[in-house]
Amino acid sequence: MNIIFIGSPGAGKGTQAKRISGKYKIPHISTGDILRENIINDTELGRVAKSYMHNGLLVPDSNILIMIKERLKGKDCNNGFILDGFPRTNPQADGLELILKSENIHINQVVVLQTNDDIIVERLSSRRSCTHCGKIYNLLFNPPNNSDLCDVCHSKLIQRRDDLPETIQKRLAVYKKQTEPLVQYYQDKNLTKFVDGSGTVSQITNSIFQILDQYD
C-alpha cells in the first residue's frame, strides 16, 4: 500500500502516519524527520537544509528528490510506504512520479487532512519534543507528566524552532502557496480522500483506517 499524506503543518500528519505505519506494517517516511536527523548529524544536506527550515521555508526540490529517491530504495519499502511531508511542491510531485514509474510502483491513495488555521496555530505552539528520543507531546491534549521532561527517557523537552509563532505563520503561507495546489494535482488523478482533521486523534485515525482498510 503506497500512501501520500497532505495537510498543513500541524494538521496531525506525523501522529496519524505513525499509527498507520503500525497497523499496516509499512514505513512512515517523513522528509521533515530525515532532514532534522541530517541537521543533528551535521551532514552536508543538514547544513544546506538548516537555514531554510529554521525560517519556515522549503528546502530546494533537488535536495529533497535526491533524498527521497534514496530512501525509497530501502528494503523496508517493498510492501509500501506512507509519505508524510512529501511531495510539497509541483516539481516534487512530478519527480516522485518519475521515480515510481521507473520502479513500476503507483500511489494507491492520497489522504488530505483538513483543518483550520486557528487549530493549527494552537496545536503547533503547544507542541514539544524530546531532545533525545524524539517523542512528541502536546501540552494541550497529550501533555508529559512533567512539562520539561520526557516521560520515556527523562531528557529535556524543547519547542521546535520552526514552531515559534512567527515561523508558524510563514509555514502556513508557504503551505497555501506551494503545497495546497497538490490537492488538485492528485484530485485530477482521482486519488484523493478527504479527512476532517479537527476531531480527536483516535477519531481521525478511525476515519483514515476506514479509507485504507480496502488496500490491506
Asked if residue 58 binds ligand AMP (CB under 6 A), the reply is: yes
Question: Which of 19, 88, 127, 128 forms a contact with ligand AMP (CB under 6 A)?
Answer: 88
Question: CB-wise, 69 or 154, nearer to ligand AMP?
Answer: 69
| Catalytic site includes residue 13 | yes
Residue 47 CA neighbour count, 13 Å, CB half: 3
Query: What does 60-117 look like in DSSP terms, one character per residue?
Result: PHHHHHHHHHHHHTSGGGTT-EEEES---SHHHHHHHHHHHHHTT----EEEEEE--H
Q: Which of 45, 59, 204, 208 binds ligand AMP (CB under 6 A)?
A: 59
Distance from C-alpha of 84 to C-alpha of 8, rounded to nearest angstrom: 11
Contact segment (CB under 6 A) with ligand AMP among 27-35, 39-47, 117-125, 192-200 equals 27-35
Residues found in the chain: 216
* Long-range own/partner contacts, residues 45-51 (CB < 8 A, 24 or more apart): none
- Which position among 13, 23, 47, 193 bears the catalytic label? 13
Residue from 8, 21, 31, 207 binding ligand AMP (CB under 6 A): 31
Q: Is 19 a catalytic residue?
A: no
CB 132, min distance to ligand AMP, A: 18
**Which position among 19, 36, 123, 127 bears the catalytic label?**
127
The only residue of 3, 20, 45, 53 in contact with ligand AMP, by rule CB under 6 A: 53
Q: Which residue is nearest to ligand AMP (CB)?
A: 32
| Residue 71 in grid coordinates | 530512501
Residue 164's CB is within 10 A of a number of other CB atoms, namely 14
Residues in contact with ligand AMP by the rule CB under 6 A: 9, 31-32, 35, 52-53, 56-59, 64, 85-86, 88, 92, 162, 171
